[in-house]
Amino acid sequence: MNRPPDQEHLDDQMVKMEVNLDDISGEWLGYVMNLLFESGANDVYYTPIFMKKNRPGVLLQLLCSHQMIPKMKKILFAETTTLGIRYYPLIVHRLERSFSKLLTPWGEVTVKKGFHGSELIQQAPEFEDCRNIAVQNNIPLKRVYEEVWKCLGEKKEK
């Protein structure tokens, strides 16, 4: 298999930022998530929580590099109702990754592969490729994924 040199590594300059929100609409949350991703966040996610006085709320967490903190902070303060942000330094272990093309009956799908050492331990089709095929061919997304997984299984057996 043709792969780039070992790309597995530890990112030791990563930060998790989080805020508790109890007075923001779901539409705003989606908008903020998109802004954070577009501005360089590696990951953004929400968790339902209960806050003081048993108020339902949302925990917004994001992962970014240390140098992205000012940009993320600006978005969080400007676009949410938070009055404070918590920061946690952390280390992220990233597998070596490679991308290949897989031909399906409807067109090509990019497959992301993750290697630990020389062993392939993860592989998954890229969502956008699968979504585009489903829309263009008017077929269920699930069917596209099933075909990709079938093709990946056949390639492994050869």
C-beta separation of 5 from 115 below 8 A: no
pLDDT of residue 155: 63
pLDDT of residue 157: 40
What sign for the dihedral angle of Cα 108, 109, 114, 119? Answer: negative
pLDDT at 15 over 80: yes
48-68 burial by CB neighbour count: b if 16+ within 10 A, else e?
eeeeeeeeebbebbbbbeeeb
**Residue 30 has what DSSP assignment?**
H
pLDDT at 5 over 70: no
Summarised one tens digit per residue, pLDDT across range 120-142 is 889 999 999 999 999 999 999 99
pLDDT of residue 55: 92
Q: Which of 129, 142, 74 is nearest to 102 (CA)?
A: 129
Instruction: Look up the CATH number of domain 9-93.
Output: 3.30.70.1380
pLDDT at 158 over 70: no
pLDDT of residue 152: 86
Residue 22: CB partners within 8 Å, gap ≥ 6? 51, 55, 56, 57, 58
Give mean pLDDT, residues 91-98.
86
Assign a CATH topology to domain 96-157. Answer: Ubiquitin-like (UB roll) (3.10.20)
Domain coordinates in residue numbering, the chain? 9-93, 96-157
Q: Which of 2, 11, 75, 67 is nearest to 44 (CA)?
A: 75
Residue 129: CB partners within 8 Å, gap ≥ 6? 108, 109, 110
Summarised one tens digit per residue, pLDDT across range 18-61 is 999 998 988 999 999 999 999 999 999 999 999 999 999 999 99
pLDDT of residue 93: 85
Q: Which of 60, 89, 63 is nearest to 77 (CA)?
A: 60
pLDDT of residue 3: 46
Length of the chain: 158
pLDDT of residue 70: 97
CA distances 137 to 18, 85, 88, Å, are 40, 45, 45
